[in-house]
C-alpha cells in the first residue's frame, strides 16, 4: 500500500482507541450536543448521518463522565457501525473493512459527499491508499475515465476476486450487452471470449486502443503458438498477418457466423484487400476482385468460394503462399512433385502418358498435348503458360495472355467441339482434333 496519508492513518488509529476527552466540558452543556453551538457544524453539510441528525450521539458516544465531558465508544471497530448496519461479509473483504476502519472512508457524522465519504470523489478516496490505476495509460476505459470505481468494485466485500461485483465476464457484459448478444447469437464463439474478457482487455485502460493488453498479432500469438510457429517457419509470408489490424483484419475476436471466426465468407474476406493492385516488395499483384469480375469462367475451387483450397493464408514454404509446390516461372523441367498443387486435385497421368484416348481432351488424335508441352526435361511449359488458375474468359481456363518477361504473350485459343486451336506468341496457328489428328506444319 502506498500514499497512506497521515491524516487517515491517524484517524483510523485514534478512532478506535476507546475514548475521546475534551479538556473541560462547555459551561452551558446540558447533554444536547448540536444545540449548544459546539457541534452544530455537522448539520451544515450536504449529507448528515441519520443518528447525528436525530441528535442520537449516544448511539456511538457513551458519556462515562459527564463532569469531565468524557465519552467512550459504544463499540469497538466495525462493531460500532454494525449495531445498525449489516456486517460486510464475503469471500474477499477489503483490507480496511476487515480491519474495522470504516472511518478511513466514511465520516461518522456528516459529509459534503454522498455516502458520507471522506473524499469528494471515488478516485480521490481510493487514491488515498492506492496508486493511480490509470497512471500513464494512453487509453482509459469509459467508466474509469468517469471516475467510477464502485461500478465494478465493491468497496467493502465481495464473493469474487479483486472485490469485483460479479465474476469476470459478468463484470463486463453487464454494460456491454451488445457483445454478450453477439456471443450468444453467433454460431462460432471464441473460447476465451465466452469466459475471460480479461484475457485480452485491461479493465482500467491500456496503452493500446480498445484497452487491449497487447496489440494483435502478439495478443493472439500468446495463445496460438501453432500459428506463431507457422509464421516463424514460413519462407513466404503474408503481410496481412502483421500489418494494420493484423489477425483481426480477418478474424473476429469474440464470435462470428463463419467458421474459424472469420469476419466474412472466406472469399469475400480475401477480396476486402485483394480488390486493388497490392504490392509485394516491388512486385505489383493482380487485382483478384477485378480479375474475377472480368473473367466469368472460374476455376472449380473458386466457384466454391475457396481461396484457401490453394493458398496458405498464414504463410508457408511455397511460392505465392501455395499449399503445395508449383513452379514459379514460364518454363520448368518436368517432375511430378513440382506440380503437387495441381495434382492434389487433378490426375498426374494427364501430363505423364505420351499417348492417350481418355486422360485429357488436350490431344491431337492420341497424342497427348499436355505431355508434349509440359513433360519435358528442358523448357517444359508450366500450366500457367496456357491456363489462368483463377479465372478466364475462355473455356478450360485458357488465358488470354501470359507474362513472358516484359511482354504479355497472347495465346489466342479457340475451342471446337472436338478440339481447338491456338496461335500463341510461341508458334504459328496450330490445331488439334481428338477424333482425327490434324497435321500441323512445323514452325
Ligand atoms: C455513528 C457513530 C457516531 C455518531 C452517531 C456520532 N459520532 Fe462522534 N465520532 C464517531 C467516531 C467514530 C469518531 C472518531 C473520529 C472519526 O473517526 O472521525 C467520533 C468523533 C467525535 C468527536 C471528536 C472530534 C471529531 O469530530 O473527530 C466529537 C466531538 C464527536 N464525535 C461528537 C459527536 C456528536 C456531538 C455527535 C452527535 C451529534 C456524534 N459525535 C455522533 C462516531 C459517531
Ligand atoms: C475503502 C473505503 C470504504 C470503507 C473502508 C468502508 N466503506 Fe462503506 N462505502 C464506501 C463507498 C465508496 C460507498 C458508496 C458506494 C457503494 O455503496 O458501493 C460506501 C457505502 C456505504 C454505506 C451505504 C450504502 C450501503 O451499502 O448500504 C454504508 C452503510 C457503509 N458504506 C458502511 C460501511 C461500514 C459499516 C464500513 C466498515 C465496516 C464501511 N462502510 C467501510 C467505501 C468504504
Ligand atoms: C444508531 C444506528 C446507526 C449507527 C450506529 C450507524 N449508522 Fe450509519 N446510518 C444509520 C441510518 C438510520 C442511516 C440512514 C438509513 C440508511 O441508509 O440505512 C445510516 C446511513 C449511513 C450511510 C449512508 C449515508 C447516506 O449517504 O445517506 C453510511 C455511509 C453510514 N450510515 C455509515 C455508517 C458508519 C461508517 C457507521 C459507523 C461509524 C455507522 N453508519 C453507524 C444508522 C446508523
Ligand atoms: C484506507 C486505505 C484504503 C482505501 C481508501 C482503499 N483501499 Fe483498497 N485496499 C487497501 C488495502 C490495505 C488493500 C490490501 C493490500 C493490497 O492489495 O494492496 C486493498 C486492496 C484493494 C483491492 C484488491 C483486493 C484483492 O483482493 O485483490 C482492490 C480492488 C481495492 N483495494 C479497491 C479499492 C477501491 C475501488 C477503493 C476506493 C473505493 C479503495 N480500494 C480504497 C486499502 C484501501
Ligand atoms: C470496468 C470495471 C472496473 C472499473 C470501473 C474499475 N476497476 Fe479496478 N479492477 C477491475 C478488474 C476486473 C480488476 C482485476 C484485474 C485483473 O485481475 O487483472 C481490477 C483490479 C483493481 C485493483 C487491484 C490491483 C490491480 O491494479 O490489478 C485495484 C487497486 C483497483 N482495481 C482499483 C480501482 C480503482 C481505484 C478504480 C477507479 C478509478 C477502479 N479500479 C475501477 C475492474 C474495474
Ligand atoms: C459500468 C459500465 C461498464 C462496464 C462494467 C464495463 N464497461 Fe467497457 N465501456 C463502457 C463505456 C461507457 C465505454 C465507452 C464507450 C464508448 O466510448 O463508446 C466502454 C468502452 C470499452 C471498450 C472500448 C470500446 C471502444 O469502442 O473504444 C472496451 C474494449 C471495453 N469497454 C471492454 C470492457 C471490459 C473487458 C469490461 C469488463 C472488465 C468492461 N468493458 C466493463 C462501460 C462499461
Ligand atoms: C481473444 C481476445 C479477446 C477477448 C477474450 C475479448 N475481446 Fe473484446 N476485443 C478484442 C479485440 C482484438 C478487439 C478489437 C477489435 C478490432 O480492432 O476490431 C476487441 C474489441 C472489443 C470492444 C469494442 C469493439 C466492439 O467489438 O464493439 C468491446 C466493447 C469488447 N471488445 C468487449 C469485450 C468483452 C465484454 C469481452 C468478454 C465478453 C471481450 N471483449 C473479450 C479481443 C478480445
Ligand atoms: C487466452 C488465450 C487466447 C487468446 C489471447 C486468443 N485465443 Fe483464439 N482461441 C483460444 C482457444 C482456447 C480457442 C479454442 C481452441 C482452439 O480451437 O484452439 C481459440 C480459437 C480460435 C480460433 C478458431 C479456431 C478454429 O479452428 O475454429 C481462431 C480463428 C482464433 N482463436 C483466433 C484468435 C485471434 C485472432 C486472437 C487475437 C485477437 C486470439 N485467437 C486470441 C485461445 C486464445
Ligand atoms: C488474411 C486473412 C487472415 C489473417 C490476417 C489471419 N488469418 Fe487465421 N485464418 C484465416 C482463414 C481463411 C482461416 C481458415 C483456415 C484455412 O482454411 O486455412 C484461418 C484459420 C485460423 C485458425 C484456425 C485453424 C488453424 O490453422 O489452426 C487460427 C487459430 C487462426 N486462423 C489464427 C490466426 C492468428 C493468430 C492470426 C494473426 C497472427 C491470423 N489467424 C491471421 C485467415 C486469416
Ligand atoms: C488485410 C488485407 C489482406 C487480406 C484480407 C488478404 N490479403 Fe493477401 N495480401 C495482402 C497484402 C498487403 C499482400 C502483399 C504483400 C505480401 O506479399 O504479403 C498480399 C499478398 C497475397 C498473396 C501473394 C503472396 C506472394 O508472395 O506473392 C497471396 C497469394 C494472397 N495474398 C492471398 C490471400 C488470400 C487467399 C486471402 C484470403 C484468405 C488474402 N490474401 C487476404 C493483404 C491481404
Ligand atoms: C486452384 C488453386 C488456386 C485457387 C483456388 C486460388 N489461387 Fe491464387 N494463385 C494460385 C496460383 C497457382 C498462383 C500463382 C499464379 C502464377 O504465378 O501464375 C496464385 C496467385 C495468387 C496471387 C498472387 C498474384 C500475383 O499477381 O502474383 C494472389 C493475390 C492470389 N493468388 C489470391 C487468390 C485469391 C484471393 C483467391 C480466392 C479468390 C485465390 N487466389 C484462389 C492458385 C490458386
Ligand atoms: C483444390 C482442388 C484443385 C486444385 C488444387 C486445382 N484444381 Fe483445377 N479444378 C478443380 C475443380 C473442382 C475443377 C472443376 C472440375 C469440373 O468442373 O468438372 C477444376 C477444373 C480445372 C480446369 C478446367 C476443367 C474443365 O473441364 O473445365 C483446369 C484447366 C484446371 N482445373 C487446371 C488446374 C491447374 C493448372 C491447377 C494447378 C495450378 C489446378 N487446376 C489445381 C480443382 C482443383
Ligand atoms: C500448352 C498449353 C497448356 C498447358 C501448358 C497446360 N494445359 Fe491444360 N489444357 C490446355 C487446353 C488447350 C485444354 C483444353 C482441352 C480441350 O478441352 O479441348 C486443357 C485442359 C486441361 C484440363 C481439363 C481436363 C483435360 O485434360 O482436358 C485440365 C485439368 C488441365 N488442362 C490441367 C493442366 C495442368 C495441371 C497443367 C500443368 C501441369 C496444364 N493443364 C498445362 C492447354 C494447356
Residue 269 CA, ligand 6 centroid: distance in Å: 28
Domain ranges of the chain: 6-127, 166-303, 324-433
**What pLDDT score does 30 carry?**
66
309 lines ligand 11 (CB under 6 A): yes
In the chain (443 residues long), the average pLDDT of successive 10-residue segments reads 34 43 59 74 90 90 84 91 94 96 96 95 94 92 95 96 92 95 96 94 95 96 96 95 94 96 93 94 93 95 95 96 96 96 96 94 96 94 95 94 90 94 91 93 72
Work out the number of other CB atoms within 10 angstroms of the CB of residue 83.
Answer: 12
Residue 53 CA, ligand 2 centroid: distance in Å: 19
**What pLDDT score does 267 carry?**
93
- Taking CB atoms within 8 Å and a gap of at least 24, the contacts of 55-60 are 57/33, 59/83, 59/84, 60/108
Q: Which residues does ligand 10 sit against, CB inside 6 Å? A: 236, 238-240, 249-250, 269-270, 272-274, 278, 280, 285, 307-308, 311, 313, 320-321
**Residue 274: exposed, middle, or buried by beta-carbon count in 10 A (0-12, 13-18, 19+)?**
buried
Which amino acid residue places its CA nearest to atom 16 of ligand 11?
A: 384
Does the reported pTM lie above 0.85?
Answer: yes
**What pLDDT score does 41 carry?**
84
Instruction: Identify the residue whose cell numbers are 481428338.
Output: 434
All residues at 6 or more sequence positions from 217 whose CB lies less than 8 Å from its CB, including other chains:
231, 241, 242, 246, 247
Distance between terminal CA atoms of the chain? 91
**What pLDDT score does 322 carry?**
97
97 lines ligand 6 (CB under 6 A): no
Ligand showing the shortest atom-to-Cα distance for residue 93: 4
Which amino acid residue places its CA nearest to atom 33 of ligand 2?
A: 102
Amino acid at each position: 500500500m502506498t500514499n497512506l496519508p497521515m491524516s487517515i492513518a491517524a484517524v483510523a488509529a485514534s478512532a478506535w482507541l476507546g475514548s475521546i476527552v475534551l479538556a473541560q466540558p462547555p459551561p452551558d452543556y446540558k447533554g444536547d450536543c448540536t444545540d449548544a453551538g459546539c457541534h452544530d457544524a455537522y448539520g451544515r453539510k450536504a449529507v448528515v448521518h441519520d443518528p447525528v441528525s436525530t441528535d442520537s450521539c449516544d448511539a456511538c458516544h457513551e458519556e462515562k463522565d459527564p463532569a469531565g465531558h468524557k465519552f467512550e465508544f459504544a463499540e469497538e471497530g466495525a462493531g460500532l457501525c454494525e449495531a445498525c448496519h449489516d456486517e460486510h461479509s464475503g469471500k474477499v473483504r477489503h483490507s480496511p473493512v476487515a480491519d474495522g476502519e470504516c472511518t478511513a472512508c466514511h465520516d461518522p457524522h456528516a459529509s459534503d459527499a454522498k455516502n458520507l465519504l471522506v473524499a469528494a470523489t471515488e478516485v480521490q478516496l481510493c487514491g488515498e491508499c492506492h496508486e493511480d490505476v490509470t497512471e500513464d495509460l494512453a487509453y482509459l476505459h469509459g467508466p474509469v475515465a468517469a471516475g467510477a470505481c464502485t461500478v465494478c468494485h465493491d468497496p467493502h466485500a465481495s464473493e469474487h476476486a479483486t472485490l469485483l461485483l460479479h465474476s469476470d465476464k459478468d463484470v463486463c457484459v453487464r454494460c456491454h450487452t451488445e457483445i454478450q448478444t453477439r456471443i450468444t447469437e453467433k454460431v462460432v464463439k471464441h473460447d476465451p471470449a465466452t469466459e475471460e474478457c480479461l484475457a485480452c482487455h485491461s479493465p482500467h485502460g491500456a496503452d493500446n486502443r480498445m484497452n487491449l493488453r497487447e496489440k494483435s498479432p502478439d495478443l493472439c500469438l500468446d495463445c496460438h503458438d501453432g500459428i506463431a510457429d507457422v509464421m516463424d517457419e514460413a519462407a513466404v509470408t503474408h503481410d496481412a498477418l502483421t500489418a494494420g489490424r493484423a489477425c483481426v483484419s480477418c478474424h473476429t475476436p469474440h464470435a462470428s457466423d463463419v467458421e474459424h471466426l472469420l469476419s466474412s465468407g472466406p472469399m469475400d474476406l480475401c477480396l476486402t484487400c485483394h480488390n486493388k493492385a497490392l504490392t509485394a516488395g516491388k512486385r505489383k499483384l493482380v487485382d483478384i476482385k477485378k480479375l474475377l469480375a472480368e473473367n466469368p469462367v472460374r476455376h472449380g475451387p473458386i466457384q466454391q468460394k475457396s481461396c484457401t483450397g490453394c493458398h496458405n493464408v498464414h504463410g508457408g514454404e511455397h511460392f505465392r503462399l501455395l499449399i503445395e509446390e508449383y513452379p514459379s516461372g514460364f518454363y520448368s523441367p518436368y517432375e511430378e512433385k513440382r506440380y503437387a498443387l495441381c495434382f492434389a486435385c487433378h490426375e498426374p497421368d494427364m501430363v505423364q502418358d505420351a499417348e492417350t484416348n481418355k486422360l485429357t481432351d488436350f490431344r491431337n488424335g492420341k497424342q497427348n498435348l499436355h505431355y508434349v508441352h509440359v513433360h519435358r526435361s528442358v523448357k517444359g511449359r508450366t500450366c500457367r503458360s496456357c491456363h489462368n488458375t483463377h479465372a478466364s474468359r475462355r473455356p478450360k481456363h485458357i488465358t488470354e495472355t501470359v507474362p513472358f518477361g516484359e511482354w504479355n504473350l497472347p495465346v489466342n485459343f479457340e475451342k471446337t467441339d472436338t478440339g481447338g486451336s491456338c496461335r500463341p506468341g510461341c508458334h504459328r496457328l496450330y490445331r488439334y482434333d481428338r477424333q482425327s489428328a490434324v497435321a500441323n506444319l512445323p514452325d
